[in-house]
């Protein structure tokens, strides 16, 4: 018994010779696919951002002003905020030229208790903006402190800075001095140091130090890397404790220090640019090159 060859073709049947590939026509080059050129980044900043920096209005309000036909660039009235402008462009609002856009600035503000951290309060309560100095430009808050909380609140004139500092990915530690009613021990705070779920919301692990017992109250220092709505108060309630005073003492590298309630202090320009990782954080020094003296 003979086995068939492994080929599926019948033995002895001649195979057709393969046809040679047709040569490419004369004058043509082999195709080499080139990657699509990268879209160049437009120069300047969005018009709404420039208006906000100039103190005209917030970005959202600036966009409304543009849609209402109140803003012109180089004599042409705008109908959409989808436009980048540079320092060479002439911008007017209601026919009047705007001021020079300001650089990124940050202020330290010691928020007292009893003020709401919002621009407008639907209940008619006083806001921090009702109490800020009149010579302060248009600013926005970095995060919030609730009505009964006090301490360090950062203010900035730049929406990009605000968003950057509020992101949990920034990783800046926020520290608080907290007074709680009760006599806790180190073991009391074990659930909070591991992370806890409160009303279906996950709170990340907290850094907690038990400082001292003062009568019926205890003082603790708490560190957070993200601040959710009333997070410390709600977390303490979950383990059977009540917060009766809460003071934010630092936000990343920025410290409350000796700032009194209601006071505002601007952070130095060099510190702002250094801490935010902005370009030209430290201005170059114009030093003369050393020259050797001839003997």
Nearest Cα to 238, choosing from 176, 192, 288? 192
Nearest Cα to 89, choosing from 72, 102, 104, 103? 72
Q: Which residues of 130-167 are buried (b: 16+ CB within 10 A; e: fewer)?
A: eebeeeeeebbbbebbeeebbbbbbbbbbbebbebbbe
Q: Side-chain half-sphere of 149: how many Cα atoms within 13 Å?
A: 22
φ, ψ for residue 283, nearest 5 deg: -60, 140
Q: What is the dihedral of CA 111, 265, 157, 75, to 10 degrees?
A: 130
- Residue 274 designated active-site: no
CA distance 288 to 108: 37
Q: How far is CA 269 from the centre of its chain?
A: 18
Annotated active-site residue in 94, 102, 146, 280: 146
Cα distances (angstroms) measured from residue 89 to each of 45, 50, 193, 254: 11, 11, 54, 36
Helical (H) or strand (E) element with 175: strand 174-181
CA distance 143 to 122: 19
Q: How far is CA 245 from the centre of its chain?
A: 28
CA distance 54 to 85: 13
Q: Across 32-146, where does the E strand assignment appear?
A: 45-46, 71-73, 76-77, 84-85, 91-93, 96-97, 106-111, 140-142
Supply the residues annotated as catalytic.
Answer: 146
């Amino acid at each position: 018994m003979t086995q068939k060859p492994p080929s599926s073709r019948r033995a002895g049947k001649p195979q057709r010779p393969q046809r040679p590939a047709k040569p490419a026509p004369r004058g043509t080059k082999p195709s080499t696919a080139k990657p699509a050129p990268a879209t160049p980044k437009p120069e300047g900043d969005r018009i709404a951002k420039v208006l906000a920096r100039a103190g005209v209005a917030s970005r959202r309000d600036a966009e409304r002003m543009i849609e209402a036909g109140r803003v012109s660039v180089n004599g042409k009235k705008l109908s959409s905020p989808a436009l980048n402008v540079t320092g060479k462009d002439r911008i007017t609002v209601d026919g009047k030229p705007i001021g020079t856009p300001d650089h990124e600035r940050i202020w330290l503000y010691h928020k007292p208790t009893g003020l709401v951290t919002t621009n407008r309060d639907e209940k008619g309560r006083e806001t921090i903006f009702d109490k800020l100095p009149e010579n302060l430009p248009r600013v926005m808050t970095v995060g919030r402190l609730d009505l009964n909380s006090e301490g360090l609140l950062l203010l900035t004139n730049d929406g990009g800075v605000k968003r950057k500092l509020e992101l949990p990915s920034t990783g800046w530690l926020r520290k608080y001095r907290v007074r709680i009613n009760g006599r806790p021990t180190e073991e009391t705070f074990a659930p909070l140091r591991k992370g806890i779920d409160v009303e279906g919301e996950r709170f990340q692990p907290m850094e907690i130090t038990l400082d001292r017992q003062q009568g019926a109250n205890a003082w603790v220092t708490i560190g957070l890397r993200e601040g959710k709505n009333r997070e410390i108060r709600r977390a303490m309630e979950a383990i059977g404790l009540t917060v009766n005073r809460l003071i934010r003492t630092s936000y990343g590298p920025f410290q409350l220090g000796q700032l009194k309630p209601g006071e505002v202090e601007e952070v130095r320009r060099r510190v702002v640019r250094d801490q935010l990782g902005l370009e030209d954080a430290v201005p170059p020094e114009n030093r003369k090159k050393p020259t050797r003296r001839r003997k």
